Amino acid sequence: MKIVLSYGLGADSTAILLRWLTEPETRGFSLDDLIVITAQTGDEHVDTAILVEQHIYPLLAEHRIRTVQVARGGRYERDGIVVLDDTREPILCLTSGGPYTLADEMEQNATVPQSGNRAHSIKFKGWVIDQWIAANLGTDEPFVHVMGYEADELDRIQGDSDKGLPNRLPTYPLLSWSWDRDACEAFILSVLGVRWAKSCCVRCPFGYAKGSRDRTVLRLQRNPHQAVGALVMEYLAVAVNPRQGLLAGKQLYHLLASTPGSQDLLAMFENRLNELPWAIYEVRRAFTAKRGDAMARGTTRRSLRRLVTGTRAEMVAEIARAAHLLGRRLDSDGRHYRVWARERNLLFPCVEQALVAAPALAHDKTHPTFDKAWQAGLLGPRQLALAL
């Protein structure tokens, strides 16, 4: 039976690997049957990749352990996956990802990962690994799927236990060993003599939780090019929707601006904004009401359309001209520029419509049910009730 370890590059799965290699009695299987697989999102912190290349890949190569790196092949499931590396002598941790990365997903949709769920982790990691396993191990013969959930992550373990392929037998070594994150980090330190950095995407909101925020900001300051990518993504998302932000609605930009040592990083970010092509977008949203309550918002449907492109200065000037022509106030905080053609009401259903200036990275996209929701929102609650 094959043993597949989902190697997320972090302390948890690294501790499992190290213990199996240094204490063979803890694993109960031959290393010939082990497959170490990583789904690369294209957004991992570079210092994590360096740690893996310096300390883990040499051990995997020494023991001739099959090491696989995979990624999404495109936006849609029909695009499949790509195998970045499949070897028993791993050298490079290919964190730049494949042809379609998490950054592509966020920028094309003009949004940020949501802190309320792990949908993007499923899309860029779980689904990708399942596709490789199905293609290479099949869906009939059982395999053991090793997950690096900590002993105190019982909710995640329960949520994971019945997911995945029908022939999957999940197992959780850290639960069996009663190891939490502190135990994992202490074990790695005792074996390798290094403190393992937290593995997460640069754009992941969970990396900015209170317990990790200071360390994550320090990593961004040390690797400003990655930080600039996250800031560009956030800028575009906030331009399209001022209620967004990488930190659960709050902005990473504001956090960095208030943190000493970020001046050079933010200067690089401004330079990057000036280098990018810009666009004027029309953004429309239609808000439904929760059943029986016009004061409560239901679902939101969005239409995003690029109207014209040019330089940053040209698009900002174009927004100011549009505000004048429409007889509307230019809505600007000094960083973002938009004109509201329609603003949402207090009662639902309702709509809002704006012209915004932002980097020309987002794609045109309209939700399939947008037109119906838009028409209902234009009517408003009273007229809609009469129409029905």
pLDDT of 383 reads: 62
CA distance 51 to 8: 13
pLDDT of 207 reads: 77
Taking only the tens place, the pLDDT of each residue in 102-133 is: 999 999 999 998 766 678 888 999 999 999 99
Question: Global pTM?
Answer: 0.92
pLDDT of 198 reads: 85
CA distance 334 to 324: 18
Average pLDDT over the chain reads: 94
The structure tokens listed for 258 are 């208030």
Question: Which residue ranges of the chain lie beneath pLDDT 70?
Answer: 115-117, 382-388
Q: Which helix (H) or strand (E) holds 200?
A: none
pLDDT of 209 reads: 74
Residues 111-116: contacts with CB under 8 Å, at least 24 apart: 111/237, 111/240, 111/241, 111/244, 112/203, 112/205, 112/233, 112/234, 112/237, 112/244, 112/245, 112/246, 113/201, 113/203, 113/204, 113/205, 113/246, 114/205, 115/205, 115/206, 115/248
The structure tokens listed for 155 are 């909710």
DSSP H helices in 260-311: 263-275
